């Protein structure tokens, strides 16, 4: 009797683990597909060699951003609108890194916890989006200008 219960519990656990893995793989499929397509488009427009970071930025429009190095080992950023139209290529040295943008937010605001960061285009300018949780456990959104580090927009207590 005890052996049957142990086998039954083992089967249920194995099924739960298997279903969880399938769910995780399927949930991440759009992100990996978007990254793959963004890399293909970037390689058509630049000599992108290595991708270090991928961002999916969604505000007024959606953008896929790749941060990496080109074949000359120079640090570049490629921002691609979801439509695939106008690809923007930036030199990483011309703007803020993810860490520097985050530091700008911490200098002026006091977020409790950063949820995520993305890099994309806002009103035609490269912009860091910082999503943070405040002390009341509500969300705050900050848009930080890539070149100047200025917080150009914020939405608080969502």
* Domain parsing of the chain, residue ranges: 2-94, 98-155
138 close to 158: Cβ distance less than 8 angstroms? yes
> 98-155 has which CATH code?
3.10.450.40
In the predicted structure, residue 25 carries a pLDDT above the cut 80: no
54 close to 42: Cβ distance less than 8 angstroms? no
Measured CA to CA, the distance from residue 113 to residue 30 in angstroms comes to 26
Q: What is the pLDDT of residues 55-97, one digit of tens each?
A: 999 988 999 999 999 999 999 999 999 988 899 999 999 999 9
The partner residues of 64 in beta bridges, in order of sequence, read: 56, 80
Alpha carbon of 72 to those of 32, 83, 146: distances in Å?
26, 28, 23
> 2-94 has which CATH code?
3.10.450.40
Q: Is the pTM of this model over 0.75?
A: yes
């Amino acid at each position: 009797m005890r052996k049957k219960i142990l086998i039954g519990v083992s089967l249920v656990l194995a099924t739960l683990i298997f279903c969880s893995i399938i769910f995780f793989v399927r949930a991440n499929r759009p992100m990996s597909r978007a990254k793959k397509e963004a890399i293909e488009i970037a390689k058509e427009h630049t000599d992108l060699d290595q991708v270090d970071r991928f961002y999916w930025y969604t505000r007024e429009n959606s953008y896929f951003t790749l941060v990496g190095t080109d074949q000359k080992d120079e640090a570049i950023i490629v921002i691609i609108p979801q439509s695939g139209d106008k690809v923007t290529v930036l030199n990483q040295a011309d703007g803020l890194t993810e860490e520097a943008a985050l530091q700008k937010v911490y200098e002026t605001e006091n977020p409790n916890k950063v949820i995520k960061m993305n890099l994309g285009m806002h009103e035609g300018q490269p912009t860091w989006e910082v999503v943070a949780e405040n002390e009341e456990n509500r969300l705050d959104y900050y848009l930080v200008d890539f070149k100047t580090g200025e917080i150009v927009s914020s939405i608080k207590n969502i």
